[in-house]
Amino acid sequence: MKNPRICRLLPLWAEVFEDLDAEPVFCFADRSPLEVAQSLRSQHGLSIEHGLRYDIANHLDAERATRGQRRAFMSYETLLTDWRGAMAGVAAALGVELPALAANEADVDAFLEPRLRHHQAAAAPLAATGLHDLAMEVHAAFARLSVSPGDRRAIETLDQLHGSFAAQRDASRRV
């Protein structure tokens, strides 16, 4: 399933997987937080700041909720420019086979059109706030995890950022 906010339902899904005696695997396709924020602004009228908060919360919560599970990380950019290589890396990292991809390459090629990418980080307005910096730090940690899913430094960074984000969220609620 493609959606980082699925982490909100992970406890429910964990019960379903257990009842089915199925082992879930997780794949993160990380996109620039500025692109996500720009997309949310275009689609739903949300502010860039709100979009950044949304992206940070979903990334941090989804990463935390899947620790200890089989998981892989890739960049959205790589998915668009080299989906075959990206998915081969994901399959190898997860120890799974993806025969449906090989059987449907033409459909995937038609679906993943890089020219249909409406928002790119360079075109997104920069938010000159600590929130922007925090979002970019989360993004950088996910980039490290795409190279090495068990990168301890990246995990520690995400834990620190989770604390910073929670404190920032609490402070804004008190205002």
Is residue 37 pLDDT above 50, yes or no? yes
What single-letter DSSP state applies at residue 83?
H
Nearest by Cα to 73 from 156, 161, 155:
155
Average of per-residue pLDDT across 105-131: 69
pLDDT band (50, 70, 90) for residue 101 = confident
CA distance 93 to 87: 10
In the chain the first and final C-alpha atoms are separated, in Å, by: 36
139 close to 33: Cβ distance less than 8 angstroms:
yes
* Domain extent listing, the chain: 26-174
- The phi and psi torsions of 112 (rounded to 5 degrees) equal -90, 85
Strand partners, 11: none
pLDDT band (50, 70, 90) for residue 123 = very low
Nearest by Cα to 66 from 19, 11, 17, 21:
11
CA distance 162 to 17: 27
pLDDT band (50, 70, 90) for residue 173 = confident
Query: What confidence score (pLDDT) does residue 175 get?
Result: 57
Query: What is the Cα 130 distance to its own chain's centre?
Result: 20
4 close to 58: Cβ distance less than 8 angstroms:
yes
Average of per-residue pLDDT across 18-46: 92
Query: What confidence score (pLDDT) does residue 119 get?
Result: 57
pLDDT band (50, 70, 90) for residue 96 = very high
User: In this prediction, what percent of the chain has a pLDDT beyond 70?
Assistant: 87
Is residue 84 pLDDT above 50, yes or no? yes
Q: Whole-number mean pLDDT of the chain?
A: 87
